[in-house]
C-alpha cells in the first residue's frame, strides 16, 4: 500500500452538473438501439460523426487535454464522468480508441510537435488517433510483438499486421508497436494514407468498430517515434492502465443502465397476477447486483482520482477497477437477460446488446484473472 490518504469519491458541483448534462444529452440523442441501426444498415462509419462533433462543441473531447492544445485542462476524473454516461447507452463513438488510447499515448509520450499537430484536432472532434497493439496469436498480450521495424537510411521500415485496431478504418493517425531490438519494441505514429498501409474493416459483436492494419515496408523517420526507442513496453503499460480505468467507467455506466432497465421491467411484468419483482428470489438477485454496483463505483472513482492525484497508486487501482468492473458488468448483464426471460434473448430487445458488450470488455485490456494476479504481485503476495 502507498500510505496515501484515501481519495475523494465525491463529485464536486461542476462534476455533478457535467454528469447530469451528459446523462440527459446521451439519453436523448444516443439510445443503445442505434447499434442495431448501424449494424443492419452496414454503415461505413459505424458511429455518428455529427454527434461526435456536438460533444466536441460541449468540450467533452478536450476535458483532459491541456489548454495550450485547445482543451479544457481538467483531469482524467472529469473525463471518466462523461465516460460513465457514454457507457450507459453503449455508445460506439471513438471514446476508447481516441480518448483512452491515442490521446493518452500522446499525453504520456508524444513529442511537442506531435501534441501540437494532433491534440487540438482531437479536442475539436476532427481527428481520430488510435493504437494498434494486438497481433494474431498474441491473445491480448501486447508484449508479443511480431511487427518489425528495420533501420533504413531515413529512419525505419515497418512490416507486419495488427488486429482489432479500434476505429482503424477512420483514424487520421495510428500508433503501432514494432520490434526495434531483441529486447524491446517502440511505438510509431503512422499516417494511414502512407504507401504500404492496407486497412481492412472488421465487424465486432459489441457494436464497436475495428480494423486489420497491414504494413508492408512502410517508411517512417525518427520523428514518428512516440516515447523513446525500445521503450514502447513501459509507455504502453501506462496507457493501458489509464485506458482500463476509463473503460471501467464505461462498464460501470453500462452495468447501472442494464440494472435500471431490469428493475423497471420486473416491476411491470406480471405473472400469476402480480409483478414478478414481488418474488423474493428475484429481489435477492437484484440486491446482489446492486451491492456489486456500489462497490464497483467506489473502486472506479478511486482509480480515476489516482490518475490525477496519486500516480504511484494507479497500477494497483487500475487492476482492481478493471477486474471488478468486468465481473460486475458481466453479472449485471447476465442477470438482466435472465430476469427479462424469453424477450431478453431476442434481437428486438436492446438488453441483449449489454451482454455482448460485457463479453468484449471483459477481455479488453486484460481479463479479471490477469488483473487479480497483478494486484497480488504489486502487494507482494
Q: Which CATH class is domain 13-128?
A: mainly alpha
pLDDT above 90 coverage of the chain, percent = 87
Q: What does the pLDDT look like over 260-280, one tens digit per residue? A: 999 999 999 988 889 888 899
Residues 6+ apart with CB under 8 A from 67: 73
Residue 99 predicted with pLDDT over 90: yes
Instruction: Determine contact, residues 133/96, Cβ cutoff 8 Å.
Output: no
pLDDT for 175 equals: 98
CA distance 347 to 333: 15
CA distance 328 to 342: 22
Superfamily of domain 233-378: Butyryl-CoA Dehydrogenase, subunit A, domain 3 (1.20.140.10)
pLDDT for 346 equals: 87
pLDDT for 375 equals: 94
Q: How confident is the model at residue 9 (pLDDT cuts 50, 70, 90)?
A: confident
Backbone angles phi, psi at 61, to 5 degrees: -75, -20
CA distance 372 to 355: 22
CA distance 318 to 63: 20
Q: Where are the domains of the chain?
A: 13-128, 131-230, 233-378
Pairing of strands 274-275, 185-190: unpaired
Query: If one looks up domain 131-230 in CATH, what number appears?
Result: 2.40.110.10
Q: How confident is the model at residue 335 (pLDDT cuts 50, 70, 90)?
A: very high
Residue 1 predicted with pLDDT over 50: no
pLDDT for 6 equals: 67
pLDDT above 70 coverage of the chain, percent = 98
Full-model pTM: 0.96
Q: Cell numbers 476505429 correspond to what residue?
A: 167
CA distance 134 to 142: 6
pLDDT for 4 equals: 54
Instruction: Determine contact, residues 330/368, Cβ cutoff 8 Å.
Output: no
pLDDT for 3 equals: 55
Q: What does the pLDDT look like over 188-242, one tens digit per residue? A: 999 999 999 999 999 899 999 999 999 999 999 999 999 999 999 999 999 999 9
pLDDT for 278 equals: 85
Q: What does the pLDDT look like over 339-351, one tens digit per residue? A: 998 888 888 899 9
pLDDT for 348 equals: 85
266: three-class secondary structure by DSSP: helix
Residue 2 predicted with pLDDT over 60: no
Q: What does the pLDDT look like over 232-246, one tens digit per residue? A: 999 999 999 999 999
CA distance 366 to 251: 14
CA distance 303 to 31: 28
Amino acid at each position: 500500500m502507498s500510505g496515501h490518504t484515501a481519495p475523494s469519491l465525491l463529485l464536486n458541483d461542476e462534476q455533478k452538473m457535467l454528469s447530469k448534462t451528459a446523462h440527459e444529452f446521451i439519453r436523448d440523442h444516443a439510445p443503445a438501439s442505434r447499434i442495431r441501426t448501424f449494424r443492419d444498415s452496414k454503415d461505413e462509419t459505424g458511429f455518428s460523426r455529427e454527434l461526435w462533433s456536438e460533444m466536441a462543441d460541449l468540450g467533452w473531447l478536450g476535458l483532459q487535454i491541456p489548454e495550450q492544445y485547445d482543451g479544457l485542462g481538467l483531469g482524467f476524473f472529469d473525463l471518466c464522468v462523461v465516460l460513465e454516461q457514454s457507457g450507459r447507452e453503449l455508445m460506439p463513438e471513438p471514446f476508447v480508441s481516441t480518448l483512452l488510447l491515442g490521446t493518452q499515448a500522446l499525453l504520456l509520450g508524444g513529442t511537442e510537435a506531435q501534441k501540437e499537430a494532433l491534440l487540438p484536432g482531437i479536442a475539436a472532434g476532427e481527428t481520430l488517433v488510435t493504437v494498434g497493439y494486438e497481433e494474431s496469436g498474441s491473445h491480448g498480450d501486447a508484449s508479443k510483438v511480431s511487427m518489425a521495424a528495420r533501420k533504413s537510411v531515413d529512419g525505419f521500415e515497418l512490416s507486419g499486421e495488427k488486429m482489432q485496431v479500434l476505429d482503424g478504418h477512420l483514424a487520421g493517425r495510428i500508433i503501432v508497436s514494432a520490434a526495434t531490438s531483441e529486447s524491446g519494441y517502440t511505438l510509431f505514429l503512422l499516417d494511414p494514407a502512407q504507401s504500404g498501409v492496407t486497412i481492412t474493416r472488421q465487424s465486432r459483436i459489441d457494436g464497436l468498430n475495428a480494423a486489420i492494419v497491414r504494413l508492408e515496408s512502410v517508411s517512417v523517420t525518427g520523428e514518428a517515434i512516440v516515447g523513446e526507442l525500445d521503450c514502447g513496453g513501459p509507455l504502453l503499460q501506462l496507457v493501458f492502465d489509464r485506458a482500463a480505468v476509463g473503460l471501467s467507467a464505461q462498464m460501470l455506466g453500462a452495468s447501472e443502465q442494464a440494472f435500471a432497465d431490469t428493475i423497471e421491467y420486473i416491476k411491470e411484468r406480471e405473472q400469476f397476477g402480480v409483478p414478478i419483482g414481488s418474488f423474493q428470489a428475484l429481489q435477492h438477485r437484484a440486491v446482489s447486483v446492486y451491492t456489486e454496483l456500489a462497490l464497483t463505483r467506489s473502486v472506479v472513482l478511486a482509480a480515476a482520482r489516482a490518475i490525477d492525484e496519486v500516480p504511484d497508486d494507479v497500477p494497483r487501482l487500475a487492476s482492481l477497477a478493471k477486474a471488478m468492473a468486468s465481473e460486475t458488468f458481466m453479472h449485471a448483464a447476465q442477470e438482466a437477460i435472465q430476469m427479462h426471460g424469453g424477450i431478453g434473448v431476442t434481437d428486438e430487445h436492446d438488453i441483449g446488446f449489454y451482454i455482448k458488450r460485457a463479453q468484449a470488455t471483459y477481455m479488453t485490456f486484460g481479463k479479471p484473472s490477469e488483473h487479480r494476479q497483478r494486484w497480488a504481485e504489486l502487494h507482494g503476495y
